[in-house]
Chains A and B, each alone.
Chain A
Amino acid sequence: MVRFDNVGMRYGPGPEVLRDLSFDLPRGSFQFLTGPSGAGKTSLLRLIYLAARPSRGLVSFFGRDSSTLPRAELPLLRRRIGVVFQEFKLLNHLSVFDNVALPLRVSGRQSSDYAEDVIELLNWVGLGDKITASPATLSGGEKQRVAIARAVVNQPEVLIADEPTGNVDHEMGMRLLRLFVELNKLGTTIVLATHDLQLVRMLDAPVMTLSNGHLHIRPPRSERSVSGGDADSPIPSPLAVREAVESGAAFETDLHSDQSEDTP
């Protein structure tokens, strides 16, 4: 679905911030992306959501080479990728409803076609009572859920989330993680960038670790026990992730519990 082959990236004449990245994100997979600040996580995410092009190597999306992709086709590809930004990128002059409906609106759909779906989605993320609110009046966790709802409203094939739990408390972090897992169960490929190792340990999912521009991929625990090590490997099938989620064993808290008391 998304494939990197010997990808390098630099800004201007500076040194490479990403070096020799090769990996494949299979359809329906779930993976964490972690690494220290400045390791190149944001640059890698920018490459994945087509906000930047590699300096060398091949990045392909859905079988298309990103470097030779005509500009006019970029929006169509972007509609297949949902992004949850660390800083949310919500528009305060629009209501929660309009923010979530944005990807549908820009693709030319009429509000009468999608209003019901958007409201249902907002109810699903626990914001059914905030439909007409401005994002400026929401708490960090609520904003995060609006951003997630916007990222998934178009049913993207790939969802990229940059520190989605960075601005929320532990309980909300768990609920958001549950949300991503549910989306993954529905077939969405998930890349979740986080510093939170506790969060990473909660799921039996592969972990992509960036360090000084190099990528190390650690397979999920279940596969490591079979292969017997931490060696680099292609990202495996999400089966293990799904099984872990469905069994609920990886979760320490009940992620289906009622919403927390968010305060702006």
Chain B
Amino acid sequence: MTIADQSGQQVSGPLLPPDGGRDRPLFLVAAILVFLACLSALGARGAWQASQQWTSDLESSLTIQIRPVEGRDADADAQEAARIALTVPGIDKTVAHDRTHAEALLAPWLGQDNLPDDLPLPLIVDVELARNEAPPLDALQSAMDAAGLPASVDDHGRWIDAVRTSARSAQTLALSLLALLTAAAAAVVAFAARASLVARLDVTDALHLCGAEDKFIAQLFQTRFFLLGLKAGAAGALVAALVSMLVSMGESPADMAFFLPNWRLDTIEIGLLIIAPILAGLTAALSARLAVTADLRDRW
């Protein structure tokens, strides 16, 4: 509706009439989709962070396994292996573990105090690598062989691959969900934009016949749906942040923790939650623009 401002100048009203509550269901659906998308994004980020941490731990260490050999003192061999390992360049620290440590590692499978004393057990020497050094696998194995120790060096490669594969799977799953949710949001908004256009055919026809370009008409719907997407996205992201915080504050089973977003208030996670509503708004705007432009092209 036109009103006159203080200087008596006519101030034009919006060309699209108010939605009159028609967009409320769309707001709810968009907010839910953005909420789920945020959880997926946080989940993908959590999986990436976890895999980075685990592979970093595995890559910065080696393990020397001392095989039990009849007639040899395994504890002494472990101590000797730890001492020799320290002489190899690129190795920062070594810790030789005794039979008690080996028994503790087996306890979850064989139980406590169930092992006969004469059961030969391999002993473990943990080797910590100096920062940014490639693992001196061959040099270490050669040093062990040269000292005549029954030792084999393990670079954890098997485990690193397994962790990376798991992390990649979790990330792929989360990103696939994110893509699906984005596509669903775009489809819902496109549908809603078409419905809105049909409900406003009187407006679009009048505009069209008055010489409005398609992009001018599309811009009207685009702006409306951008704001709707932005508001719905903000609501969804806020709820996702709250849920993520609550989940992180509570205890979760170890095997679940990997898949749950990890709320640490770091810049990237906050950035994700801020970007999500903007992306939702842009997705809504683009969907509306494409839907309206296609519809105008079909009808005129």
Binding site for B on A (CB under 8 A): 49, 51, 71-72, 74-76, 78-79, 83, 89-91, 93-98, 101-103, 105-107, 111-112, 115, 118-119, 131-132, 134, 150, 154
Contact status of A106 and B212, CB under 8 A, knowing A89-B202, A98-B13, A111-B9: yes
**Interchain nearest-CB distance for A244 vs B (Å):** 31
Once bound together, how far apart are the Cα atoms of A121 and B100, in whole Å?
101
Residue in B closest to A101 when the chains form the complex, CB atoms: B12
Other-chain contact of B10, A51, A71, A97, A134 (Cβ < 8 Å) = A97
Q: Which of B47-55, B148-156, B175-183, B203-211 contacts A (4 or more CB under 8 A)?
A: B203-211
B2 touches A98 (CB 8 A): yes
A102 touches B207 (CB 8 A): yes
B297 touches A95 (CB 8 A): no
A106 touches B10 (CB 8 A): no
Once bound together, how far apart are the Cα atoms of A106 and B1, in whole Å?
16
Main SS at interface, chain A: helix
Q: Does B108 belong to the interface (CB within 8 Å)?
A: no
Binding site for A on B (CB under 8 A): 1-4, 9-13, 15, 17-18, 202-203, 205-214, 216, 297, 300
Other-chain contact of B210, A103, A111, A112, A134 (Cβ < 8 Å) = A103
Contact status of A97 and B2, CB under 8 A, knowing A89-B202, A111-B12: yes
B9 touches A95 (CB 8 A): no
**Interchain nearest-CB distance for B265 vs A (Å):** 46
A72 touches B2 (CB 8 A): no
A102 touches B9 (CB 8 A): no
A83 touches B206 (CB 8 A): no
11 contacts between A and B (CB under 8 A): A49-B209, A74-B300, A78-B208, A78-B209, A94-B1, A94-B2, A98-B1, A111-B12, A131-B2, A132-B1, A132-B4
**Interchain nearest-CB distance for B216 vs A (Å):** 6
B13 touches A94 (CB 8 A): yes
A89 touches B297 (CB 8 A): no
B207 touches A106 (CB 8 A): yes
Once bound together, how far apart are the Cα atoms of A111 and B15, in whole Å?
13
